[in-house]
Structure 1
């Protein structure tokens, strides 16, 4: 008797490919949207929950670091439970976590629910990409991936605008509540359309040592970065102890992952030259880009007095050119040396960073928006060429691990960047405030005249107004310094990028796409 071959998952077609595509795309849109939607709302959230501005960045970092940690688990979870059940479970839990974020009554509650939201978000994009590829015939998979790439470009643009409008016209919890109907709809559509899709389930070995040391090491390091400034860094016993725990856990993690036969994170991929150079560039460039996305909206609101809506509108032009150029870049980029395209991206983002380093408190909306628009050229030329470069010298059976590892490190870089950027901005502002205050003395005739003019005869009011002016100038000087640093970071990455060597074409047998 001839054995009947088991049906292949890739041969399955849903009743409606279009409806399934909408369901998968909506889930991705929701998940990517949540990486930026809270950025413009941080000052409002901080004020409503009674915490400082730097403490509010935990809303961003808790989400990002937990998503980064859960990303390497995607492969194991997929083989153990199947892609469709994993997608439905992740999306449902993400929806629930979004609702819990909206009803949070304190900052610790909000951070805990954002951490849960990030943890369940990790598998969503890789599984969505895999399912989307599987429901289209080979000749149309490029179009499917182009659509998914478009969603991942549009969502971060919509985030600040939508977040700002909701915060100003309703209240900040609604930036999380809007996920509930979207998530439920996506789950129902995908479950009904792909529920009958055959699954090949396994019982893969779990690298528990790697997972536990990763969680402890990265979690402790994130706590050090977020709490260090409040605790006066290494003057604090807590920071010293947490740093020691992080160093030991990460050391064990590195040794274990380099020697284990089935590591949760395949660090041996760094033996490939293009992967090492490309991933280094991706992580640092994304960290710098993430810093810009976080800092500009906060600066607009705290220093220039913009509402959340106007801060979102001022930052939104960064996404216009990527949306328009992405189809052309995907089609024509292989005809060029990808190092040239990526170098143009970093030179553009470096130049726009240095333009912001020349800002002052009188800069107008049009100038801010125009620089955001110009930076969009860099964003459009950044992701696809760099991803293709870093995957170019991997073997076909290493592509999935390489894409996952690069995405994991990129997400982690964004999380650490949020903490470090906020720390630098606050710390340098304190230094400038101290220096500027030194020049205001009762013995300085100019200072006496300024105080008399400001206070209309009321010394206390005059002193308060003068301190506000000094604080504004201090944060502006600090903002300019941070953007000087970001600009030269982008420029230096061009040198690292050219350590990669062509050819940069995908290996035969590689799966299409590599994550965005």
Structure 2
């Protein structure tokens, strides 16, 4: 157990009976609501973008804006906790999350929705680490593993429920309800948490915050994400705005690194990257998570915009990702101390590579079972992905460095998730355009296949204009599918490459057990 949780036990006795059950339920619901919100919007993007009059690609800003704001706020959790206390901060996060969810629901346009999602992501940052800290303080040290297992189950169930619930709501109600459902859950969680934990507040002490470092962090991360999101729309580096954003991101990052290295109380402890295990582990988990998260955005968009799946059907295809993750995670957690974490992580990357190689074989006639098999395998790979890599990242860290190492690795991972979504949607759009151009080069009345297809359509009673429209739609679906499979092939090879990165590490016994929360 971490020193933080040990201190919690020294200050407050463990909970018992009904209070323990209610406290566990309240904290788990807060985590469930938080994690659910990062995945529930994925299958609802076509409905949201259609209702607000923007393209599905622009609609993905709803996902990436939340991820980036969440990434920026995670490193501030430690400082905020010392300033306000963990119970007050947790309560404030929940109530602001409820408020921002309501603002998301009433948003009249995409700009307002993105602003509300940025607020939602920012206030969500402290919720997950604080829920884990409060949960550990509720149990005896001997039962801390059980507490983490219960906590971890919640974070795995939420990604299953997200696509299903988001799809069902989008098809049967209106998209704002994917945000409104947080309101009753959040209010109940806030009430239950305060009634049980308000007398278990942590110590408060004033510490200086690195204001310049925080400002530079927001500037370079924000500029980078805007550049990735707007690049496609503005024709990348042919746009002065994109060039300016790139320069701001690059200069901001350089100044941020220089400034943080000279601070006594930095926002981010960059000295952690001097460790081989930390550096290689963070790159592996962050790139892997970016590929995984990007695919969670691409798949529902492709199914709905190109293969005419409803949001509910797309949700059913994506939902099985959590089945094996839930079943296998406790087993992996039990055997991990007995085996080399690098072997387990390598097996996870092989599993992900297999998933994407299978998806790279998809075509426009793919059936539902063929879509779901890779998703099931992906769940098994997930169970072997987070825990071993978090173990490698934290291995050999002294107790006082564990919170900083966990926070920094989460910051990089969450940021890479948002970047992965932006980069993949951009690649998908540009590759679709390229494939569409190549396919249309083979059309025209010099092509027997084109002539035969046009004759068949006009004989069905279509006008020549309508026949052209049907043919163009067919080409667009084919081009989009080819673009998606290009991305899946690239992702598969990247996962294989990450195996080599894992074996650059030399895990050794950590001064504290693995922070399972780092997985999420």
Q: Is the TM-score greater than 0.5?
A: yes
Whether 1:484 and 2:456 are equivalent positions in the alignment is no
CA distance in 2, matches of 1:296, 1:261: 45
**1:454–1:466 CA contact under 8 A, matched in 2:** no
Listed as ranges, the gaps of 5+ residues in structure 2 are: 1-7
- The match for 1:164 is 167
**2:132–2:517 CA contact under 8 A, matched in 1:** no
- The match for 2:13 is 11
> Structure 1, residues 334-388: CA drift from partner, whole Å, max 9, x if none?
1111111110100011011011001001110111111211121111111100100
Deviation at 1:455, TM superposition (A): 2.9
Deviation at 1:445, TM superposition (A): 3.2
Give the one of 465, 472, 494 matched to 1:467.
472
- The match for 2:506 is 501
- The match for 1:97 is 100
Q: TM-score, normalised by structure 2?
A: 0.96
Alignment of 1:58-457 (within 5 A): 58-456=61-459
Deviation at 1:513, TM superposition (A): 4.0
- The match for 1:3 is none
State the secondary structure of the residue aligned to 2:38: coil
**2:95–2:187 CA contact under 8 A, matched in 1:** yes
CA distance in 1, matches of 2:485, 2:434: 14
CA distance in 2, matches of 1:7, 1:417: 39
**2:75–2:268 CA contact under 8 A, matched in 1:** yes
Deviation at 1:510, TM superposition (A): 5.6
CA distance in 1, matches of 2:390, 2:10: 29
RMSD: 1.5
CA distance in 1, matches of 2:317, 2:287: 25
Listed as ranges, the gaps of 5+ residues in structure 1 are: 1-5
Give the one of 455, 458, 463 matched to 2:463.
458
> Structure 1, residues 433-483: CA drift from partner, whole Å, max 9, x if none?
111111112333332221121233621111111100110010011011000
CA distance in 1, matches of 2:12, 2:498: 39
> Structure 1, residues 294-335: CA drift from partner, whole Å, max 9, x if none?
111111112211111111111111110111111111111211
CA distance in 2, matches of 1:199, 1:345: 38
1:175 and 1:496, CA in 2 relative to 1: closer, same or farther beyond 3 A? same
> Structure 1, residues 403-425: CA drift from partner, whole Å, max 9, x if none?
00000110000000110010000
Q: Say how many residue pairs are matched.
A: 509
Give the ranges of 4+ consecutive aligned residues of structure 1 lying more than 6 Å apart after TM superposition: none
Deviation at 1:259, TM superposition (A): 1.9
**2:390–2:515 CA contact under 8 A, matched in 1:** no
CA distance in 1, matches of 2:515, 2:499: 26
**1:9–1:134 CA contact under 8 A, matched in 2:** no
**1:8–1:198 CA contact under 8 A, matched in 2:** no
**1:343–1:494 CA contact under 8 A, matched in 2:** yes
Q: TM-score, normalised by structure 1?
A: 0.96
**2:100–2:119 CA contact under 8 A, matched in 1:** yes
